Amino acid sequence: MNTVKVLAPAKLNLALDVVGVLPNGYHDLDMIMQTVDLYETIILRKSQNLTLTLPGSRVPAGATNTAYKAALAFFHYTGLLAGVDMEIRKAVPVRAGMAGGSADAAGVLVGLNALYGAKLSMSELCAIGAGIGADVPFALVGGTCRVKGVGDLIKALPPMPECWFVVVMPSFGISTPEAFAKYDQVGSSVHPDCAAQEQAIRQGDLAGICSAFGNALEECSGAVETPHIREILDGAGALASSMTGSGAAVFGLFDSREQAAAARDILKQEYRQVYLVRPCKGGARVLPPLRRGKAAR
């Protein structure tokens, strides 16, 4: 096998609370996270070099890119004297709080593990990923999870009840460090009950899940369009709406695909990046190779 193709899903924060500061100075978080069927596509080819291309994207492709860091970390951990040519077709908005960069890193780790037959466990991949970015371990595990600490404490939960999300990317992205710095200055009046939301997920109670929506970073994110977008989503029938991560993307949850599609169409009149997505199970995954003689459908 000389080439692998990986799909790596974006994530949404159904709830995000800042519960303290850890001894290392990082914020102690409590979150409910969900992967959705908006995917980065990562193509990896065996090589003696280490290259990264991102066709059509303005994201830097150098050594600061999370995918590049993931490849270096993989080869360092395994000791393999090898390389890879990486091509990433980006679909997740940048600076959105949807973990597109973390999905890329997770996709590279999973893909290299398959490409070179390294047989690393999920625990090993997550340990490597934690050194790259806080959301990378979740991007590897995926599905519905309660995530604590700096993203390193992950508890898998049952799948979400059937629902749809409409996700809107505003005109401007948000810097994660700036959002947390602002939180340190002004705090937040929003502190969602992640324990209650976990219980509602376990019970398949969509109304209970929605009643526990909230993001402690929303008030201080500086994303001025958030209230306007949420107002449109709520008016279009969303059961709940919130900002995801440190922003700037905003999403609403719908129990009807028809209502969700109608809300998407309304928001598309004002915003360029609007997505209708569903919860998905699992994180970054390698696609099975096409059999010889079989054409892709």
Hey, which residues are catalytic here? 11, 135
What SS3 class is residue 216?
Answer: coil
Q: Does the bond joining 296 to the residue before it have cis omega, within 30 degrees of 0?
A: no
Q: Which of 216, 209, 274 lies closest to 245 in space, CA to CA?
A: 216
Q: How far apart are CA 177 and CA 126, in angstroms?
A: 22
The conformational region for residue 56 under phi > 0 = left, psi -120 to 50 = alpha, else beta, is left
List Cβ neighbours of 236 (8 Å cut-off, separation of 6 or more).
Answer: 166, 252, 259, 262, 263, 266
Distance (Å, rounded) from C-alpha 223 to C-alpha 220?
Answer: 8
Going by C-beta distance under 8 Å and a sequence separation of 6 or more, which residues neighbour residue 278? Answer: 36, 37, 163, 164, 165
Q: Which two tokens stand for residue 1?
A: 């096998």
Q: How far is Cα 187 from Cα 223, in angstroms, rounded to an integer?
A: 15
- Can you read off the two tokens belonging to residue 222? 């500086």
Q: Is the dihedral of CA 107, 108, 114, 117 positive or negative?
A: negative
d(CA 48, CA 289): 22
Tokens of 30: 């409590």
Percent of the chain that is helix, strand, coil (3-state, to 5): 30, 30, 40
